[in-house]
A and B are shown apart, each in its own frame.
Chain A
């Protein structure tokens, strides 16, 4: 059974959501709908759906929705395939997975092309795409052996899935190689790339770390690949 998880953002983008539903009905992929805004305990509800035999978890929302659900699923032992339907703005995770819009999404779900993806971790929270922080007053230590400093104002970005910005610069990050990439981009071709094989320690008592363009956490933080692998249904035009 398909379980569709609707975030509150679907209320704001009713037409988009409706277009996806129409395609799903045409393709005969209907299933149960769970509205996150109407339940108090997201974790308990999703766990219950998996116990009831959910075959695919389909998330309708943006990066924040995906991060929220991934943090629930990553703590569940069953590996139920996940699919993302981008609704509204801030959909870089869906974009990395080759799912550009709700119209394409229904067909990609139907094709069921599966990839296993390693999820990354920042302290006790999971993220799938990237995390970033301003370089101002930030100290970084990679694999407990060397420190990295940018001498110009920029952002430090740790990437698990290749996003569009990296893809255009021909920097590819595979979420299947157990390595994260620290990317520091300054003007022009002044780009740095460092593989993170064990962990990255971030220290900054002024700025917060942004996970998946949605969740902010304090430092110090230890960033690494987690031991959790999840299956995702992806599009042919995925960026990794």
Chain B
């Protein structure tokens, strides 16, 4: 009985410890981002300052890096989600020759490490003329975002009773029209969760981002790399990193109720 009484306290203690562990590196990062780490004429190392954040804004490379990151993110979601929805519908409602094998192939591509495919993707994308542009990164990230999107969406679609489909078909709706008018409104939370996961895996990825943007179209992570040099302004590096996490943090906050209501993981 004592255990049962102690359990809630133990739970809170464990959770608190974990949260401290999770945010400790971020606390240090945020603290550093408000400190002068490279002395100038009118400031000493260690002074509190907002200059690092001001410097992000005044550096055209950093400004364009933020624009690039947001651009390739949005393009990636706009490619992934519309392609994933019909596929998820197909996997969840129909059984066709080779469906299990195809799902298996999708999983295999999701877990293929990007470093394995870097060289040919670079060559292929050069031939297609999409290197050094945000479109190239957006396309390359489909490799892992598309399978995971299909997987998540399929769970949401499978949760909708099949009778809904059948009634619509009796009323004379075609399958594509059914997806558009009935299915989409019902899986809005699913689309939001999917988009969030696309964002999460894509925003922070660096392997494809590095090889596909040697001269132009650099995302935030690569712009941070470019800040390292003979005299590295660590405060600026930390400020850029903090700033790069803000869109994600906002999304996370907006998504918190969808995530907490749970999303389903489908099987074929």
B is a partner of A: no
B residues near A (Cβ < 8 Å) are none
A residues near B (Cβ < 8 Å) are none
